[in-house]
Amino acid sequence: MIPELGHFALILALGLTLVQATVPLLGSLFRRPAWMAVARPAAFGQLLFMLLAFAALTWSFVINDFSVLYVASNSNSALPLIYRISAVWGAHEGSLLLWGTMLSLWTGAVLIFSRSLTAEMLARVVAVMGMVSIGFLLFMLLTSNPFERLLPAPPDGRDLNPLLQDPGLAIHPPMLYMGYVGLAVPFAFAVAAMIGGRLDAAWARWSRPWTSIAWMFLTLGIALGSWWAYYELGWGGWWFWDPVENASFLPWLVATALMHSLAVTEKRNVFKAWTVLLAIFAFSLSLLGTFLVRSGVLTSVHAFATDPARGVFILIFLAIVVGSSLALYAWRAPRIRSSGRFALVSRESALLLNNVLLLVVTISILLGTLYPLIIDALGLGKISVGPPYFNSVFVPLTAPLAALLGFGALARWKQDRFGRLFRLLRWPLAAAFVLGLGWAALMAPFKVGAAFGLVLALWVIAASLYALWLRVAGKAAPLAALFRVPRGFWGMTLGHLGVGVFIVGITLTSLYSTEKDVRLAPGQSHTMDGYTFTFEGVTHTEGPNYSADQGLVVITRDGRPIATLHPQKRIYHVQRMPMTEAGIDAGLKRDLFVALGEPLGQDGSWSLRLYVKPYVRWIWLGALIMAFGGLLAATDRRYRMARRAEAKLPAGAAAGVA
């Protein structure tokens, strides 16, 4: 009964969405306030039914209702409750339901937090989000119904993919999807503004906090995914340039460009057409990501068994979204006029360069990701593009971006001079060189790449801190003044500091990690980078739904004990799937990582993979700092102030428009 209610709720949600996507839009075009007012009840009604559907599926998992095909395929009565809940989004159908529910949540959030929007703008934004919802609801109902019954019900389920039975992966998809779906909001704002033909500073100001929040979720989602791959897959890497990883990274890059260009549009009233285009691209790349993950067209470590028919649906949907929004853009763009002027050396130019670089990086990665698809479609053979491609393109293109960052953040709007900027930044620049080279000299052996990366990272950090200092220097109480620095500025500072920390992490991890696959009998040891890994053998343990061989590895340095690790090799009972749980001793300066390979021979020997990974935590720490910056930027007082100010004002204005 409950699953049928869930299914019915989805159908009702689709009905309401059809209303939400059409009536308010027509109302805004024909100036009918009553029609525009339909946006709110329709969107909230849709949200209600989506939440009901989501609750129905969750309930089916919680009570182990194996007569539901999706539950039977992705759960088991022995599965712990937390994973029964996260199993809701453990496979295709439920992920889509999560997508759809989040889209309704974002729409609801827009309705709640954008009371200052004109009735017309709000009606159009909600209608555009409704159109996106229609696509996803149809997709679900036509190709991927999560509530399909399986009768007669099997006695037990086939269990959740063991890789997904992990706390990191329980929250990684929701975070990532919040980011993906969140980019629908700036997209809807851009399309709505184009429909109205009014792209002004107000439009940019409305879009900014939403973009920052979506970007924050995307950042967290990607970082969690990277962290999970690091400890769960047992490979010890943190990024593989896998098509599915790229699929999440591409919208992130464009969203980053969008945040920066929105700032210029709001403050200086330029780059408008460009900003609109970025908003379209960012959301299109989110959809493309979904297509790549769900269609199985690319060979990927993430590709689970998939269904090509679904890929075709998403591809058509993608074509409609991109095609119609670009057509609208082509129609409206000639009317967009940018009024502000700026000199060659100015903050505008720096941000323009930032955008160009980010876009070029995006295109290069997109090309590498899609190249195998293109070659295959042309019948030229089956190829794959290896990670070295991405590294050798990504690093040279992003290094100038980091170098530019320090100048850009302190450059003046409209007009500046190189001379002034260099004089202003001479101390941070000197500090970056001295400290960066010093740090690189302390790392043994000295590597030019490390010196380069560290100087760059410290330059970003020093310039960001210096900009913060300039804000409070000369004030009577500098420390107290720090608290009065607007959150938007803090957001920028933390975002950039995060970039610096991240660069330290990737530089030192890539250059100084050591890795070794060894065969060890109990009692034997292997020494690497001064750490002695002693293998004490393997014992058998039982988990709730798996049995495991648990190794005992004692790590010492100069005879002093450092850590005792318990890497496991698990066999999950239902799927008979082996899984590696790495043993990790985490630290700010280095991670020690041990993964069990296979048993070899009769003497209790195993193959083991050993890693020493310096500064690897800084990668995720940097991402966390960036994400926190995004949160601060989105909650800046300015947006709330503007809201209040406008909320008082437009009562008459809105009536006048209506």
CB-based burial, 350-365: b 16+ in 10 Å, e otherwise:
bbbebbebbbebbeeb
Q: Which of 609, 613, 617, 643 binds other proteins (CB under 8 A)?
A: 609
Residue 367 near other proteins by CB under 8 A: yes
- Of 9-17, 364-372, 526-534, 582-590, the segment contacting other proteins by CB under 8 A is 364-372
Output the smallest distance, CB 465 to other proteins, in A.
28
- Of 36-44, 55-63, 365-373, 500-508, the segment contacting other proteins by CB under 8 A is 365-373
Q: Which of 27, 182, 368, 495 binds other proteins (CB under 8 A)?
A: 368
Q: Sheet of 590-600: strands edge to edge?
A: 514-520, 605-614, 590-600, 583-585
Q: Which of 11, 82, 112, 301 binds other proteins (CB under 8 A)?
A: 301
Distance CA 49, CA 45 (A): 6
The residue (of 202 and 397) whose beta carbon lies closer to other proteins is 397
Residue 597 near other proteins by CB under 8 A: yes
Distance of CA 224 to the CA centre of its chain: 9
Helix (H, G, I), strand (E, B) or coil at 513: coil
Contacts with other proteins, 320-339, as mask; x by CB under 8 A? --------------------
Output the smallest distance, CB 546 to other proteins, in A.
13
Per CB under 8 A, which of residues 336..355 are in contact with other proteins? Answer: 341, 343-344, 349, 352-353
Distance CA 69, CA 327 (A): 41
The residue (of 200 and 598) whose beta carbon lies closer to other proteins is 598
The residue (of 375 and 437) whose beta carbon lies closer to other proteins is 375
Residue 161 near other proteins by CB under 8 A: yes
Per CB under 8 A, which of residues 390..449 are in contact with other proteins? Answer: 392-393, 396-397
Residue 472 near other proteins by CB under 8 A: no
Distance CA 37, CA 34 (A): 5
Closest CA to 159 of 53, 61, 305: 61
Residue 522 near other proteins by CB under 8 A: no
Residue 634 · residue 216 · CB < 8 Å = yes
Distance CA 610, CA 176 (A): 30
Q: Which of 577, 624, 657, 658 binds other proteins (CB under 8 A)?
A: 577
In single-letter form, the type of residue at position 375 comes to I
Quote the DSSP letter at residue 579: E
Residue 315 near other proteins by CB under 8 A: no
Do the bridges between strand 531-542 and strand 546-557 make them parallel or antiparallel, or are there none, so unpaired?
antiparallel
The tokens of 72 are what?
Answer: 């039977």
Distance CA 282, CA 355 (A): 13
Distance CA 50, CA 146 (A): 13
Residue 378 near other proteins by CB under 8 A: no
Distance CA 478, CA 94 (A): 51
Residue 190 · residue 207 · CB < 8 Å = yes
The tokens of 572 are what?
Answer: 């999950």
Residue 371 near other proteins by CB under 8 A: yes
Output the smallest distance, CB 344 to other proteins, in A.
5
Output the smallest distance, CB 393 to other proteins, in A.
5
Residue 580 near other proteins by CB under 8 A: yes
- Of 282-290, 360-368, 482-490, 638-646, the segment contacting other proteins by CB under 8 A is 360-368
Per CB under 8 A, which of residues 2..61 are in contact with other proteins? Answer: none
The residue (of 365 and 455) whose beta carbon lies closer to other proteins is 365
Q: Which of 381, 419, 561, 652 binds other proteins (CB under 8 A)?
A: 381
The tokens of 339 are what?
Answer: 């009024």
SS (H, E, C) 280-330: HHHHHHHHHHHHHHHHCCCCCCCCCCCCHHHHHHHHHHHHHHHHHHHHHHH
Q: What is the dihedral of CA 249, 251, 253, 258, to 10 degrees?
A: -160
Distance of CA 389 to the CA centre of its chain: 22
- Of 61-69, 81-89, 113-121, 595-603, the segment contacting other proteins by CB under 8 A is 595-603
Output the smallest distance, CB 388 to other proteins, in A.
5
Output the smallest distance, CB 581 to other proteins, in A.
11
Output the smallest distance, CB 172 to other proteins, in A.
14
Residue 647 near other proteins by CB under 8 A: no
The neighbouring-strand residues paired with 519 are 607
Contacts of 222 (CB under 8 A, 6+ apart): 176, 179, 245, 248, 249, 252, 623
Q: Which of 82, 473, 480, 600 binds other proteins (CB under 8 A)?
A: 600
Count of residues that interact with other proteins, criterion CB under 8 A? 53
Q: Which of 449, 484, 517, 530 binds other proteins (CB under 8 A)?
A: 517
Residue 575 near other proteins by CB under 8 A: yes
Output the smallest distance, CB 144 to other proteins, in A.
17
Output the smallest distance, CB 368 to other proteins, in A.
7
Closest CA to 243 of 366, 369, 367, 362: 369
The tokens of 226 are what?
Answer: 């990277």
* Number of Cβ atoms within 10 Å of the Cβ of 576: 9
The residue (of 5 and 397) whose beta carbon lies closer to other proteins is 397
* Bond into 445 cis (ω within 30): yes
Q: Which helix (H) or strand (E) holds 612?
A: strand 605-614
Do the bridges between strand 590-600 and strand 605-614 make them parallel or antiparallel, or are there none, so unpaired?
antiparallel
Which residue has 């969405």 as its token pair? Answer: 17
* Number of Cβ atoms within 10 Å of the Cβ of 41: 12
Residue 163 near other proteins by CB under 8 A: yes
Residue 150 near other proteins by CB under 8 A: no
Output the smallest distance, CB 381 to other proteins, in A.
5
Residue 234 near other proteins by CB under 8 A: yes
Binding site for other proteins (CB under 8 A): 161, 163, 234, 296-297, 299, 301-305, 341, 343-344, 349, 352-353, 356-357, 360, 363-364, 367-368, 371, 381-389, 392-393, 396-397, 517-519, 575-580, 595, 597-598, 600, 607, 609
